[in-house]
Amino acid sequence: MNFQFTNPVWLWLALPALAWTVWFFRKSDAQISGWRRGASLFIRLVVVLLVLLALGGLQWLKPLEGMNVFFLLDRSDSVPTAQQESSREFVNQTAATKDLRDKAGVVVFGTDAAVEFLPNPAVQVQKIQAVVPTERTDIAAAIRLATAAFPENGQRRLVLATDGNENIGDAMSALLAARPLGVTLDVLPLGVSRANDVAVQRLAMPSALKKGQTFDVKIFATADRPGPAKLRLYRSDQLLGEQEVELTAGKNLLSFPQTLNDPGFYNYEVQIEAPGDRIPQNNQASGFAFVRGEPRTLIVTSDPQGEKALDEALRASKLETRVVPVSGFPASLAEMQSFDSIFLCNVSAGDLGLDRMRLLESAVRDFGVGLVAIGGDQAFAAGGYRNTPLEAALPVDMELNSKKVLPKGALALVVHATEFPDGNQWARETAYAALDALGPLDEMGIVFWDGSDRWLFDLQPVGNKKELGRQIMGMNPGDMPSFMNVMKMAHDGLKKSTANIKHMVVFSDGDPAAPTQAQVDAIIADRITISTVMIGGHVQPDAMMWMADKGGGRFYDVRQPSDLPQIFVKEAAVILKSAIFEEPFKPQVAAASELTRGMGGDFPTLYGYVCTSPKTRAETPLLTEKGDPLLAHWQFGLGRSVAFTSDAKAKWAKDWIAWDRYRQFWSQIAQWSLRRVDNADFTTDVTIDRGEAVVAVEAIDNDGNYRNFLNLQTTVVSPKGEKQLVRLEQTGPGRYEARFPTKEIGAYMMNVAELKDGKVRASQALGASVNYSPEFASTEPNLNLLRRLAEAGGGKILDPSVDNPFKLGRTKTFQPEDWWEQCLKLAILLFVLDVAIRRILLDREELKRGWVKIRSKLPFGGPVRQPVGDPAMDALRQRRDAVRARNQAKATEGSPVISMPKPSADDFTRLTTRVSSDKPADTAASSTDQPAANPTDPKKPAPGSESTTSRLLDAKRRANRDKK
């Protein structure tokens, strides 16, 4: 048998510990017999040895058979689809010929890694189901994931099918970390060489400019061979010009001078076309520049015509404004940087979308852009702001305190399984988004079909969102045949509700049979509105459009599942209209503020507002007559945020528009919200390579001296609005650097801030763009890396037509089993036995009697033999019985009786010794104290007539006297 120790250092103590045990035992003065002494020494030595083996972590290496093979399949953009399929077929072919004891698993990877199949004896990959991003190649992530997913038993082997063009992570480091765990790696090369490639590496320009400043737009391009190319340059989606250029083999630098006279945000894009180039993805790049000027404000509104009064008021205060509909809201954080303040006028959260709300939150918090939210019937709680990034940036809360009683709404969802990938998961997420948008007093219920029409949960207040959300995440709707019964159930539930606003949303792909005209009329008669959401529809949407049109709701024909959550937020906002108060009221002054300075205390009447609650740190200079916030403001990160819960147009503020201080009021709000952070005078540069960006800052004062030991940090916002904070470390005189990963395609915005005494002293906004996936930067496989991985992994480059990874390099493996616990248990038992041998005295007769008792209790002990009696006593009894038998026979015949012979002295000695030992001490003593019998006593029987008992008693008395 094979053994090993997890902590073998304890074995060095074995000989000293055993020697000390022997020495200590020899010095002991315990008085015990020789066999007990030897047994105790032996047991002690065994106990000490067992304890040392337990401390050393004794393990038995159990031999095992079988191999575990993980196939790592590259699904990134740089591997052609045909080769991805061939690697999948290679898995099926090799797995079909493996031994039954072997197991196969599959991991797919791109930007991330995912397990397609865990190792199991039967693997047949018909189609790759796991979805991973394909814009990057992270071999290291696949190696780490597969190593962690290996079973504990059997040989471990990785088969890596890739082109080797890793652009994120470090595959060699991951492999070296896996090797000590018994993992080997073989390589199946993929990929093709792509000749005649032309690529744009970078578009460079200054990020911050002054009006009228001339600068160069620099284009860095590479070409595999010299040749002509056509170059196009765009600015803010407008073509500036087209030019024929001659490229040389290798790197090329092209430069175009530009001058920008107007302040604002400018987006530049370059495109190159070359004959024979088969990879168009890497033929374009983009960059952006900011021209600073007078403060600019952006007004985003659902009604551009209705906000003319506000636009004129801001222009009259010398602010440059731009009015756009919701569709014109900036789609990137870079575009938002060209404005110093953004006004949202009656805009719902569903119209903005989650991504743009995240970017807006970051623009205010991380870049100092001002935000002013103005109310209306689609704003604040009525617009679904609850639990959104927009609510986080505002100084008011959409959750109302318990003292405010508002009319409640009721929402019933009719959910039908749709025929598109992950349809049920999207149904769960959309239902959860609607739940999250509702207030605690609002009601919600879900009806669906999973073999029968039923409620997932009845229409009820959504106060316990956690429990309802748990039920939603376990929902699995089926393909219902008809809308009629489920809509009837939803209708009955809404009809019983006491809510003021009742709304039904039907989510389906349009397959089920439509309800009847009478059923829809009955729903409408009970003042219930109906909206329909058709996703992935493969039938005519006529029925879904008809239900929405008749029901007074909206119809959505959705082609992108990612749009669903915001649609349901927008539909949930229908029942949130109960948060609107449309009654005339006079604003009440609650506190002095910069925003209302010079306004006096008499404000015109307003005719409506949206009910909200103030946040703890917010200031609320104006309140409604019911004590709700009308005007609130606060500092949010680097920016400032304002909320005005009434509107700024003729619907609720018609008296305000005619007010002589209307312009002053909005001008002061706009001026207070403008960006305040001073621009830092830094020279900055951003480079991106292999999925990582490097920010380099040079800090020099006005006299040309280096500024050292500055506290600099940069806030990085990804194209999806995700934020990370990175500290810049000083790497030289006046030079600071920071690094961060860039996994996503698009523009990364950075705000380099100088901190002093815990406050931002100055900042500088800049950005960098990841123009295309680096998967298209390499034109051929990285065979050098693949060879090095195979060598370091103890494997080889596989030939798919010959090599089978299940047949190569098979070795016997062992599974360690811990024995230290058994050693410790045995040591405890032997220690108890050692104590028993030394402390408990048992003679041979007692051991025999004990053994007899034990055997009598055992079912397999056999018949118990009676203990052997005293031989002398047995002889006397036999002699007595024989004499009695003869005397009885003589008496019967009339012959003289023969007296019993006198026992010998040895018989008496043995008998008296036994009797005295069996008789109690006090009895024996009392008998010896009696006076001796008088031989002449007339009562004493004659010698011839003495019985055997009398003679025995006399012999006993004499023996006791002799002993005394």
Q: By percentage, how much of the chain surpasses pLDDT 90? A: 27
pLDDT digits (tens, 9 = 90+) for 235-264: 888 888 888 999 998 899 998 899 888 877
Average pLDDT rounded to a whole number, residues 22-44: 76
For residue 944, is pLDDT > 50?
Answer: no
For residue 340, is pLDDT > 60?
Answer: yes
* Separation CA 264–CA 338 (nearest Å): 5
* Separation CA 709–CA 757 (nearest Å): 14
- Using alpha carbons, select from 766, 674, 762, 594 the residue that is nearest to residue 295: 674
Q: Residue 127: CB partners within 8 Å, gap ≥ 6?
A: none
What pLDDT, on a 0 to 100 scale, did the predictor assign at position 86? Answer: 92
Q: Residue 189: CB partners within 8 Å, gap ≥ 6?
A: 162, 163, 164, 781, 783, 786, 797
* Separation CA 783–CA 775 (nearest Å): 16
For residue 473, is pLDDT > 90?
Answer: no
Range scoring the smallest mean pLDDT among 361-375, 601-615, 760-774: 760-774
**Helices vs. strands in the chain: H and E counts, helices first:** 25, 42
Q: Where are the alpha helices (DSSP H) in 499-633?
A: 517-525, 542-550, 564-572
Query: Strand locations in 559-628, DSSP E?
Result: 580-581, 588-589, 609-610, 613-614, 619-623
Range scoring the smallest mean pLDDT among 3-17, 474-488, 738-752: 3-17
pLDDT digits (tens, 9 = 90+) for 840-863: 766 667 667 777 777 777 766 555
Range scoring the smallest mean pLDDT among 78-87, 710-719, 801-810: 801-810
* Separation CA 254–CA 248 (nearest Å): 12
Please give the structure tokens belonging to residue 253: 């630098």
pLDDT digits (tens, 9 = 90+) for 509-530: 778 888 889 999 999 999 898 8
Which amino acid makes up residue 390?
Answer: L
Report the half-sphere exposure of 640 (CA within 13 A, side-chain side). Answer: 17
* R_g of the chain computed on alpha carbons: 48
pLDDT digits (tens, 9 = 90+) for 349-382: 888 888 889 899 999 998 889 999 999 988 998 8
3-class SS of residue 257: strand
What pLDDT, on a 0 to 100 scale, did the predictor assign at position 945? Answer: 47
When the pLDDT of each residue in the chain is averaged and rounded to a whole number, the result is 83
For residue 539, is pLDDT > 70?
Answer: no
Q: Report residue 542 CA to chain centroid gap.
A: 43
Angle ∠(123,128,133) on CA atoms, nearest 5: 135
Q: Which helix (H) or strand (E) holds 879?
A: helix 871-893
Q: What is the dihedral of CA 430, 436, 437, 440, to 10 degrees?
A: 140
* Separation CA 698–CA 737 (nearest Å): 9
What pLDDT, on a 0 to 100 scale, did the predictor assign at position 808? Answer: 85
Question: What are the CA-CA distances from residue 742 to residues 162, 205, 692, 722, 733 (Å)?
Answer: 22, 20, 5, 11, 27
* Separation CA 509–CA 504 (nearest Å): 16
Q: Is the pTM of this model over 0.75?
A: no
Q: Report residue 102 CA to chain centroid gap.
A: 31
Angle ∠(694,697,698) on CA atoms, nearest 5: 145
Average pLDDT rounded to a whole number, residues 95-119: 90
**For the stretch 919-936, what's the b/e string if a residue is b when 16 or more beta carbons lie within 10 angstroms of its beta carbon?**
eeeeebeeeeeeeeeeee
Question: What are the CA-CA distances from residue 51 to residues 3, 48, 907 (Å)?
Answer: 16, 5, 57
Range scoring the smallest mean pLDDT among 333-347, 537-551, 659-673, 716-730: 537-551
Q: By percentage, how much of the chain surpasses pLDDT 70? A: 86
- Using alpha carbons, select from 769, 759, 638, 752 the residue that is nearest to residue 699: 752
Range scoring the smallest mean pLDDT among 115-124, 205-214, 636-645: 205-214
Q: Report residue 23 CA to chain centroid gap.
A: 59
Q: Report residue 277 CA to chain centroid gap.
A: 43
